[in-house]
Structure 1
Amino acid sequence: MAETTLSDIRLTPAAAARVAAIAERQGKPAILRLSVEGGGCSGFQYQFGLADAPEPDDSLAETDGVTLVVDPVSLDLVRGCSVDFVESLGGAAFRVDNPNAAAGCGCGSSFAV
């Protein structure tokens, strides 16, 4: 596993609680994978999913017993980010606060560097 400092990636307590609840319902480990793929309205888009286990080259961040994993290619685009879970009148979603993003879209799931 890659060494990750808290400044590399961060999972907020609200996001950790939501991941733990989803993982428990699905009978899976509380491991959230954040990856970046080409596409979306701004060039790149965030992808979230539960993982069964970290890959050997993943970077890890842990909050309240929940692990956030990011592959090395995606880490270059999200280094310094935090993943939060936000509930509002418009719905509930994981949100990425990414200091590397030069622009984003209104929905918050796409960004440009």
Structure 2
Amino acid sequence: MTAQGTSEVEAPAEGVTLTPGAAAKVKSLLDQEGRDDLQLRIAVQPGGCSGLRYQLFFDERNLDGDDTHEFDGVAVVVDRMSVPYLHGAKIDFVDTIEKQGFTIDNPTATGSCACGDSFH
């Protein structure tokens, strides 16, 4: 886990890693919303052409069995059903001429569709 106030990224034993760039973008989005009670929830849901899709959204809820870690002041929450699918996943934010948005590098995904929206 990342110690508060540092920008070093270390993956928790189970779960996801949020890069400093992604954490900064999340903070910026939360500032725009004017909310400090929200956390970033990452979930895996059935769907897409490869069988499973990622969902990233802000959530104020805490569910039984949630796996929560903090990265540079951003709380990241994964529900217990999604944790096995996201073990070792790294979430980053890309802002280039070709692409803008959050990316997920997931070592547990064995394949993905051509559009990149789903995996298996």
TM-score scaled by structure 1? 0.85
2:13 matched residue in structure 1: 7
Please, which moves more after superposition, 14-23 or 28-37? 28-37
Matched AA of 2:31: E
TM-fit CA distance, 1:53: 4.1
TM-fit CA distance, 1:109: 2.7
Cα distance, 1:17–1:41 mapped onto 2, change above 3 Å: same
Provide, for residues 7-58 of structure 1, a one-character-per-residue CA deviation record: whole Å limited to 9, x for no partner.
3221111110010000111122351100011111211000010112433421
1:57 matched residue in structure 2: 65
2:39 matched residue in structure 1: 31
1:86 matched residue in structure 2: 94
More strand by share: 1
Aligned partner of residue 81 in structure 2, secondary structure: helix
Matched AA of 2:22: A
Q: Size of the alignment, in residue pairs?
A: 108
1:22 aligns with 2:29: yes
Query: Quick one: distance in 1 between partners of 2:93 and 2:13?
Result: 19
Residue correspondence of structure 1 range 62-81 to structure 2 within 5 A: 62-81=70-89
Residue correspondence of structure 1 range 90-101 to structure 2 within 5 A: 90-101=98-109
TM-score scaled by structure 2? 0.81
What CA RMSD, in Å, does the superposition of the two structures yield over aligned residues? Answer: 1.6
Q: Which stretches in structure 1 are left out of the alignment for 5+ residues?
A: none
TM-fit CA distance, 1:107: 3.6
Q: Which stretches in structure 2 are left out of the alignment for 5+ residues?
A: 1-10
Which of structure 1's runs of 4+ aligned residues deviate more than 3 A?
none
Query: Quick one: distance in 2 between partners of 1:25 and 1:70?
Result: 23
Query: Quick one: distance in 2 between partners of 1:66 and 1:102?
Result: 28
